[in-house]
Each structure stands twice: as C-alpha cells, then as structure tokens.
A and B are shown apart, each in its own frame.
Chain A
Amino acid sequence: MIKKRIIPCLDIANGQVVKGINFKDIKTIADPVEMAKYYYESGADELVFYDITASYENRGTMIELVKNVAKQVFIPLTVGGGVRTVEDFDVLLKSGADKISVNSSAIANPELIREASERFGAQCVVLSMDVKRVNDQFKVFSKGGRIETELDAIEWAKRGVALGAGELVVNSIDTDGVKKGFDLELLTAISAVVNVPIVASGGAGKIEDFVELFHKTDIEAGLAASIFHSKEVSMTALKLAMKRAGIPTRLAYMPPLKWDERGLVPAIVQSDITQRVLMMAYMNETSLRETVKLGETVFFSRSRQELWHKGATSGNTQVVTDIRYDCDADTLLIKVNENGPACHTGSYTCFGEAPDVFEKLFETIIDRKENPIEGSYTNYLFEKGIDKILKKVGEECAEVIIGAKNTREELIYEMSDLFYHSFVLLVNEGISLKEIKDELQSRIKPRQ
C-alpha cells in the first residue's frame, strides 16, 4: 500500500536555510546540506527546496546546493522558486532535482506547465498554488501570496492538471502560520476535482494536525517547515504517531550514531506521560531498527547477548512515541507510553521512583481511553463525549464552591472530584500533563 508522505520544506536565500515572516526579518537558521541530511536520516519522505528570492542572481547558488544535496541525500528532491522557462527545468533536473515546482510563473504563463510536462514528463512538474478565501471564493494569489489574481483555485487546479501537472501543492494562506491545522475544506474541494496526488501545505502546528489531515481527507502528503526546523515535532515522533493512528507510514530512522566497540549505544527511556526517566538499557543497530518497526522498545541484552523485546512476556511493553539522540550522537533518548512498571522488581522506574498520584491518575485515565473497561465511569464519560465531560467539570466547580463554604473535608472531596474530571477533559482533548506543568512552570517567577 502506498504511504502517506511527510515533506519538510526548506526556504532558501543566498544558499542558506532561512526563516522569515512575509519576507521581512529573514533569519538564517541552518546550512541546507546539513539540514537535508538530518531530515534524510530522520526518515523524511521527500524534501522541498524553495528559493524565496526567486531571483536570477540566486540561480547559480541554488543549482550548486541541489547538486551537493543530491550527492548525500537519497530521497526525492523538489525545487521551486523563480523557475520561469523549460531551460530552468532542464538545468535543475540535471543538477539532481526530481521534481520542479512552479507557482507565479505558471500563472503568468500557463503554457510553461504544458511545455515542461511534454518535455520532461508530468511526474516532475509540480503546480504549487497559494490560495485565500475572498468573498467566499477560493482565489489564487501570486508572488508568494502577496498579489490577488483573477484565478479561481478550483478551476486553476483543474486547468493545471489538464495542462500536464503531475502533482499539486495546495498552500492555504488562511491557515498558514496559524498552526491550528491544515485547511481541510480547501483541500477536500480541490481533491474532488483532480486525479493527481496532492500535497497539503499551511497550518500544521502539531502531530495531530497531520493525523487529522490523513484521516479526514484523501490527500497524499503533508508539507511543513517551522515545526520541523524548530524540532518541536520530530520526524520520528510524527511517523510513529501516524502509524499508531492506522495511517500508512514509512518508518525509516537511520541516525549517524557512534556505536561503541561492542556495536552498542546506551538508550535512556523516559515516560512521555510523566516525564520520569524510567530506565537505561543498550541498543545495537538491529534492536534500534526493530524498535522503529515494532513501535515498542527492543533492546540488546548484554547478559543474554540477544535482542530483548521489553514486555514481550510480562506485558509491560513500552510504546515508543519519539526517538532522539544527544549532541555527541552516542546516546539515545527513547520516549514511551509505558504499559506498566519499567523495572523487573515491579517498581515504576529502575531508579526506585514511583509516579506521584497525579501522574498515576493521569496515566490510568489514558489507559482507560485506549483500553476501555466495561462498567468504568471514566469510559462512560469518554463515550458520552465532550459535552458530558464539560457539564461534569461545570458541576464540580460549583460543588467546590459549596464545599469550601461548608467543611474542610467536603472541600478536599469536591476538589478531588474537580481534579479528576479536569484530567478526563484534558485526556479527551489530547492535552498532556506535561503541557499543564510547562504552563505552570512558566508562571513561576524567581524571587526578585
């Protein structure tokens, strides 16, 4: 089955990866070759390089960059920005680009799509479009989304495909930078009228936005820049989450680790629920590959000299949510949702720590959601849904007020009810305890 693709986009100016808002305050953030290699090793499915200056002066730099990347990165590369003629296509394709994306130049000269498609094949002609709602109509904008055109986005998509575009990149100006999710309405409308693959762009702020995109539409790929560059979302965490959500995903993680003389690296396991360090074990290349493939921790046991799928017999498996490596590339950090204690002694962590009751309660609620139990009050709330949960939170607030006016014992009782129902609400909305802890932490001001 074909996999849904995840595509980091690298905006390029003067040979560097840059970040800028509306072409202002452009900041250099990375070397493009290094960044491309990092994404390649992290399991990105494709890369897009976009020359934001779209200038002739920058063309030579861009060609050199593509050549250098193509020598080290063996996944498809799309190049865009300032491509105006079939000769531009030719030189970029010969430099190692696999696909060329056109935007404003195709608006100015639609024949460019046809000419390029006839000469190089539809598979390398990508029509990219910036779309914004104007008076309830999807309108195409040119020049990096700055200038409104006469074109209706739905009609332009159809025409682009008829002219020979083999793929569309649909960027919603309305959702771009808002980080509240992709523009599903626009994407669904365009998807219904064309038969080429579509790449969604604009609006991704978190992992769930990609999951929603692939669950609610038949779009083939999701593109984003800043959330990947900032490492807010790691490619591995995203791919693992997609896999858990049943989305066809390619999982390939091949970090440039410095294995020791035994072929091992230490792997620190941290709970993604409580943020506690749970244990430390070793991985070799095979166990790391198995971990990624299985989505659960598989270590290399030094005493038994064999692969060790943790929890295979005890049931205390660890579902992997993210894998990172340290600055020296000789230690792994594995984040997990743990199904039971990490330690063979039965202790929550191998360092003898127990989760506090808030963490334990939160974890139990997550477990109920994922593995429902008949007759469970928590499952009853999840089944009834958000309105029921909010009604309960509201009621408990009132009861806290009443309780506080009555007795100390009643306040403790009602406040506990409120905590519990608030946790159910957070779990229902996919908010982690860490996000609340981080928010609270940010409010604690050091004493002046």
Chain B
Amino acid sequence: MIAIIDYGIGNVFNVQNAVVPLMNDAKLTSNPAEILSASHIILPGVGAFRDAIEALEQQGLAEVLKQAHEKRIPILGICLGMQLLYEVSYENGTYQGLGFLKGPVVRFPEPQVKRIPQIGWNTLVENKASLFSGVEGEVYFVHSYYAQGIEDEILAYVDYDGVKVPAIVGSDKVYGMQFHPEKSAEVGRKLLERFFSL
C-alpha cells in the first residue's frame, strides 16, 4: 500500500489523483500502523513550514515518519513535504525539521531573484545519477523557500535567476521533490513511477 500522509496541510487530493492511476492501493492516512506497514510513503504539503511541522508533531506523525525512516520504507516528500525532510527551516523564524536530509531551508535571495515565489515550469538538470536518471523535461514549481542541501544529496536541480535550486533530492530511501510531480503532466508521472519502482 502507498500511504499518502494526511495531516490536514495542503492539497492531498491532487497527490491522490495522480497516484491512484499508477498504484491502485494508494490511501490517504494518518494511522501509524498503516503508515508503518506501507510499501511507500508520500509526504505532501503546501503552505507554511511552521504549521506543517507543528501538525506533524502534534499528531505524532513526526515520530512515525522517523520510525518509517529507520525501517527503510521509501519516503517521498513533495514541495513543503520535501522541505520538512531537512534539518531546519528559516521560514518566518527558525524551525527544526525531520532531519533526514542535511542542510537548511532558506528564502530565495533578493534582489538576485526577481520574482518570488518561483511559479511555473522549469527544466530539470541532472546533478547525480539516481533512479530518476533519464527522465527529462519541465516540472511545475510553486515555492518561495528552497533547500540548501549538500551536493551529495542533490540528484537534479533547476536554475532560477542564477540560483541552483535543488529539485530532486535524496539519499538512502528518502527522496524529495521541490516541484509538484502530481501537477507536472507526463514528466511528473514518470518520476512518480520511478519512485514506486523502489
């Protein structure tokens, strides 16, 4: 079963819409037992980092995700869900994340970046060979903050006004996509398929 974490933050409906045609047994859930017995976990998220991490903590899901990570269940964070995988975010304050990936989440630098949020389709550039290698094209981004991850964990990036923005990140069964694969047409579908092939 694919567990799509339902913690009241963001647009889980669209993630479900995109995943169900690929994997029939995808389920929205906040049940720890279901999450820990899943074959794959998707952590969606839209909105503010603080609200999201607080919701995960309060519902005990941060702990469940840490256990899932220890059990080496493949986890995919999408958009804010990816940022939650990092150690810390500086979005309107300083907030600790799940810490599965190394580095902070920071705001786009101004005035180098002219338009914030980055909204739109940007072209993936491979940084490191991974299970996503060979899927080429544009994917859809909507975000104002980005992960300043370590080079070794950046699998693909996009260029936004000269900022090298980590787009697909990951290490050891934990993956993140800063864009929305569920809104990225064919390219997004192929990337999700690759994750489910794990």
Contacts and interface: CB of A to CB of B under 8 A. Distances in A.
Contact of A2 (B48, B118, B184): B118
B120 A221 contact: yes
Contacts of B114: 195, 218
Given A76-B140, A220-B115, A96 B13 contact: yes
A94 interface: yes
A413 interface: no
Contacts of B116: 195-196
Nearest to B141: A2
Interface string B147-173: 000000000001110000000000000
A118 B47 CA distance: 8
Contacts of A93: 11
A118 B51 CA distance: 10
Contacts of B185: 40, 74-75, 252, 254
B83 to A, nearest CB: 12
- Identify the interface centre among B144, B158, B183, B189: most chain A CB within 10 Å of its CB: B183
A74 B48 contact: no
A385 interface: no
B70 interface: no
B120 A5 contact: yes
A124 B46 contact: yes
B29 to A, nearest CB: 17
Contacts of A96: 11, 13-14, 17
A167 B123 CA distance: 21
- Sort chain A's interface into a size bin: 35 or more
A444 interface: no
A414 interface: no
A79 to B, nearest CB: 13
Contacts of B143: 123
A64 B141 CA distance: 26
Contact of A166 (B11, B14, B119, B159): B119
Interface in A81-121: 93-96, 98, 118-121
B119 A197 contact: yes
Max chain B C-beta neighbours (<10 A), residue from A74, A94, A98, A123: A74
Contact of A70 (B17, B48, B184, B188): B17
Interface in A166-215: 166-167, 195-197
Interface string B173-191: 0000000101111111100
Contacts of B123: 1, 3
Given A98-B142, A122-B144, A197 B120 contact: yes
A218 B115 CA distance: 10
Nearest to B18: A74
Interface string A41-62: 0000100000000000000000
Given A1-B159, A74-B184, A167-B119, A123 B18 contact: no
A244 interface: no
Contacts of A220: 115, 119-120
Contacts of B13: 70, 94-96
Interface in B123-137: 123, 137
B117 A123 contact: yes
A98 B120 contact: no
B121 interface: yes
B186 A75 contact: no
A96 B118 CA distance: 20
B46 A123 contact: yes
A252 B121 CA distance: 11
Contacts of A195: 110, 114-116
Given A3-B120, A195-B110, 15 more contacts: A3-B121, A4-B120, A70-B13, A74-B184, A74-B185, A74-B188, A95-B13, A96-B17, A124-B142, A167-B119, A197-B117, A220-B120, A252-B137, A252-B187, A254-B186
